[in-house]
Structure 1
C-alpha cells in the first residue's frame, strides 16, 4: 500500500516490494462438467511421468466446464497437472452507457468458448512499455483467469483471488508475475481478473452520484471486484473450487481494495480470509494521506470530477460517456496535464466505502476474518540507495516530531551524512512495522475481532531485473515495493531474473504459507509431510512481526523497546483519523 517518498529531493531511488518460488508437480486435471477422475501426479518436481502428465493436462483442458454464461475449455498451465482458463467474462463491456456504472451481467454464448487467450486489459496509459508486453486494451475488459489442478468438479479446493496493484499503468492480470500455476499445484484454485483503473475506475462526479441511487460515485474498480466475488460464488464449484473458502488478496492499490472490502457491506459472505501485501497502516498513520490505501472524501472527489469534465470539454455525464477511451487516456495522462481533474483514487462515498477506517474499527464493523498482512524492508521511504545529509535529517525530525525531535534524534543519532541516510532507513523500517502492528491491535482490541492476524516483514531482494513484467520497476532497489509478489505466488518460472536455489527455497516456503492460509486461515503447517517455520499470530501485548525472506523467524516490531514506545506514542498522538 505504501510508496512513500523520503523527505528530501536528494533521497532518491526508493524501493518497492517482494515473496515466493519453485514448486513440485501437482494433482492432475481440470474441473469438468461431469466426474472426470484422474490419479494425482507425483509430488516430485517433473517426474518420469511428466510426459504423460502433460498429455493428461492437455486432454483435461479440452473437456468443457459449464459456467452460467456457457461452456469453456482451458489450456495446459505452466506446471503439469494444472489447467488455466483465460479471459472468461464476468461482466459486460463497460463502454458507452455502462461507463461509470456498476458492472452489468456478462453476455452468454452458445457452443464452447476456448478460454486459451488472455482477455483485454482495461484502458490505461502504456507509454514506455514495450509493445510486445502490452495486451489488447478495451473497455470490454471485465474478464478473469482461473488456474486449477482439481481432478473433478466434485472437489472443493480453497480459492485465492488476486487483485493487482499499480499506479495507473501496467495494471492487468495476465503478467507472468501473477501466474497462478504454483499455488494451484499446492491445492488452491487461483483467480486473477481485470478491473477498471484510473479515470475509468475511480471517477466521482455530481452527475454520477445523482444517478447512482445511493448518493455517491467512484470506486468502480472495487465494484468490479464485488462482481468477481459474486461470479465466483455462482461458478467456481465447476472448477473444483469451494465458494465457502475464498481468500481475497492484493498488493498496493489492490491491497487497498481488500481494506475497503473489509469495511464494505457489499462483499459480506463472499470471502472468508484477507491477504494484504503492502498492507495496512494504523488508522491514524499520516502516511495514509498519500499512499494507495488513502481515499478522498466524496465532496473532494466530486470536485475533481467536475474539473475533469471541464478539462475534457463537457459538463454532462452524457458528454463524458460520448468520449472515446483513447481521448480520456491521452488527455488525462498527457505531460503537463493539470493535477485538478486528473487525480483519481479511492473515494469515501458512503456506499462502497461507507465509513472511515477508524470509524469501522471503533464501531466494530471491520469484517472479522483471518488476516495476513505485511510490508517490505525497502519501502515507506527506506532504500539502500538513499542519500541524505545530517541537516536534512535533523530538519525532517523537527518538522515531523516537533518538541520530541530531540528524543527521536537520541534514538536515531547521526553525525555524518552516511549515518543520516542509514538512520532514516532504520526509522522508516521501524515505523512501518509498528504501524502494521498497531493496526493489528485495533483489529483485535478496538474492533473486538476474534480472528487471527499474521503480520510479516519481507526482507529478500530479488536478483537482477525483470523485463517480462511491466509492473516491475526498471531499477527497484533492495526489498522494494512489490518484490514479494514473485514469492507469494511461487512462480519464479517464466520470468527472466537470475534466480538462485535459495530463491526457489524461499519461494516454496512462502507460497506454502499462502496456500495454507487460503485453505484454513492459518499459514502454518497442518500435519502431513510439510514442515514450515512456525509463524505466530499477532498478540497485542507482544509487539512482533514475522520476517519472511532471508530468514523465517519472529522479530521485534521495532529494533528496540524504546524505539517501539516512541513510535507507538507518536502514531497514537496524531489527530487526523483516516
Structure 2
C-alpha cells in the first residue's frame, strides 16, 4: 500500500512522466521529447557550430562551445536570415519556413530516432533543404522526420546560411581566408554538420559509417557540391539528389565573377571594408541584398574545384551510390512564358550553333504551343535531368538509380492545380504527406509508401529495391532505365535517350 501511495504521489507531481530522453554528446548533455506513441525520440535545435555572428560572419563555421547541465532541445532553432517566409504560387505553408524567428544564429540540426541503444547502428539520413540558396529552413512541415525514423533511419535535418550570409564572395574575404577563397559558407556549414554527425550520431543509435546525404532543389545542388568537395571526403557514404545538379554548368560562377558581385554589393551597402560590412545589422544586409543581387555557388578551388565537369571526368569526386532524378514541373523554373516558333528557333541557333537543326529535330516546335512545351522540357533537362545523367555516367564504381516524378497531387479547394510541380515529390519521398493539407487518395498513400521505402532501402544498403516494390534497375547510358513515379510506379527503358545523348554531345 505504501508503494502505491508513493507511485500516486509521483503521478501527481508529474515526476514519473518526466522521462524525456537525455543524450550525452561531445559538447554536453541534451534533452529531447518522445512522439505520441513513444516510439520515436526527437531532438530539435542542437547546435553543431558556434553562432556565425560578429567577426564570424562570412567565415567558416567554428565548432560549438561546450555547455554544462542538460540543454533542452525540444524546439526548432531560428531559421537563417532571409526575406520573410510566405507561401507563394504552388508552395503552400507546408513547404515554407516558419515566418519567425529568423536569425544569423541558425546553425542547428534536428534528429528523429527510434533507437533505444547506441549499439543499434541505424543508417543515418541527413536532409538538406531547398530554397534557391537564398531561403529555406529545416523547420518546414514537410521535412518532419518522424515517419522516416519509424521506417528505420536516424533522420537528421540541418540548417545552413543562405543568401548574402551564406554565399557572398569578396576579394578581402578571399585574402583573409587563408585558403585564397570566399563564398560557399553555406556549404561549409553543411560540412560542419556532417562532421558533427560523425562525432555524435552513435549516441542516437546511428551508424557514422552509413550516412546518406539527401536534398531537393538547392539541397540537391548542395548534395552535388558535397560529392564534389574534397573537404567532405569520408563524411558520407550515399547520396540522394532530387531536382537539381551542377554538372550542366549553368548554376555556378568562378571566383573572380563572384568576388566582383561582392564588391558591387559592398558599394551598394555603403561600406568601405569587410569590417564595416560586418558591423551592419543582419536586417540591413538582407534588405540591401534584394536590390538585384543573387548569391550562389562559387567554383573557388577550395570548397569546390574550379572545373567541376573535369573534376568528375577524372574521377576526383567523392564517389558513392547515387539516387537522383527530377519532377516534370522542374522545367518551368527555367522560364514558362509563351514563345513563338520563330523566337524558339532563333534561340536554338544562338545556343547550339551548327547543332541547332539536330536540336530542333529532337525538341520540336511546329506551333507556338509546342515551342513553349519543348522549352519547358529543355529547362527540365538543364535544371536537373542532364546533371543526373552525367553524374550517373561518372559513377563507375557504384550503382546509380534515376527517376522521374510525374504524379499530380490532388486538387486543393479554391486553389489552382499546378500539376507535378517542383518540390511536389518531397512529401512522398519523406513519408510526410500527413503534414500537407490535401484530400489524399489511395494512389497517393500507395506512392508515398513506395517512394519512402525506396529512399530508406537505399539509405540502408545503397540499393533501393526491396520486398513488394517494383524492380528498380541501375542506370546506364545505353539502356537508360528510369523509374517513373506517376499514378503507377513503372520502370521505363531509355525514355529520354535521344535528348540526353544530344545535350551531352552539345557540351563537348
TM-score of the two chains, using structure 2 as the length reference: 0.88
1:523 is matched with 464
Alpha-carbon distance change, 511 to 568 in structure 1, aligned in 2, over 3 angstroms: same
1:47 is matched with none
Tell me which of 268, 286, 305 is aligned to 1:311: 268
Of Structure 1 and Structure 2, the greater helix share is in 2
1:63 and 2:21 aligned: yes
Alpha-carbon distance change, 387 to 207 in structure 1, aligned in 2, over 3 angstroms: closer
Measure how far apart 1:437 and its partner are. Answer: 5.6
Alignment: residue pair count: 486
1:174 and 2:139 aligned: yes
Measure how far apart 1:550 and its partner are. Answer: 2.3
Alpha-carbon distance change, 298 to 440 in structure 1, aligned in 2, over 3 angstroms: closer
Q: Take 2:44 and 2:451, find their aligned partners in 1: how far apart are those partners?
A: 25
Measure how far apart 1:542 and its partner are. Answer: 1.4
Contact 1:306–1:315 (Cα < 8 Å) also in 2: no
Alpha-carbon distance change, 441 to 186 in structure 1, aligned in 2, over 3 angstroms: closer
* Higher RCO, 1 vs 2 (CA within 8 Å, ≥6 residues apart): 1
Secondary structure of 1:266's aligned partner = helix
1:72 and 2:30 aligned: yes
Alignment of 1:199-210 (within 5 A): 199-210=164-175
1:510 and 2:467 aligned: no
Q: Take 2:171 and 2:432, find their aligned partners in 1: how far apart are those partners?
A: 44
1:137 is matched with 102
Alignment of 1:150-165 (within 5 A): 150-165=115-130
Secondary structure of 1:379's aligned partner = helix
1:343 is matched with 294
Q: Take 1:105 and 1:415, find their aligned partners in 2: how far apart are those partners?
A: 58
Structure 1: stretches of 5+ with no match in the other structure: 1-57, 468-473
1:571 and 2:508 aligned: no
Secondary structure of 2:275's aligned partner = helix
Alpha-carbon distance change, 254 to 430 in structure 1, aligned in 2, over 3 angstroms: closer
Measure how far apart 1:331 and its partner are. Answer: 1.6
Q: CA RMSD in A?
A: 2.8
1:53 is matched with none
Q: Take 2:417 and 2:245, find their aligned partners in 1: how far apart are those partners?
A: 22
Alpha-carbon distance change, 117 to 362 in structure 1, aligned in 2, over 3 angstroms: same
1:31 is matched with none
Measure how far apart 1:107 and its partner are. Answer: 2.1
Alignment of 1:297-308 (within 5 A): 297-308=254-265
TM-score of the two chains, using structure 1 as the length reference: 0.78
Secondary structure of 2:326's aligned partner = strand
Q: Take 2:297 and 2:144, find their aligned partners in 1: how far apart are those partners?
A: 27
Contact 1:366–1:443 (Cα < 8 Å) also in 2: no
Q: Take 2:194 and 2:473, find their aligned partners in 1: how far apart are those partners?
A: 29
1:368 and 2:325 aligned: no
Alignment of 1:232-247 (within 5 A): 232-247=197-212
2:437 is matched with 496
1:54 is matched with none
Alpha-carbon distance change, 434 to 228 in structure 1, aligned in 2, over 3 angstroms: closer
Q: Take 2:220 and 2:19, find their aligned partners in 1: how far apart are those partners?
A: 32
Measure how far apart 1:78 and its partner are. Answer: 6.6
Q: Take 1:132 and 1:490, find their aligned partners in 2: how far apart are those partners?
A: 18
1:82 is matched with 40
Secondary structure of 1:223's aligned partner = helix
Contact 1:375–1:456 (Cα < 8 Å) also in 2: yes
Secondary structure of 2:267's aligned partner = helix
Structure 2: stretches of 5+ with no match in the other structure: 1-15, 88-92
Measure how far apart 1:225 and its partner are. Answer: 0.7
Measure how far apart 1:59 and its partner are. Answer: 6.0
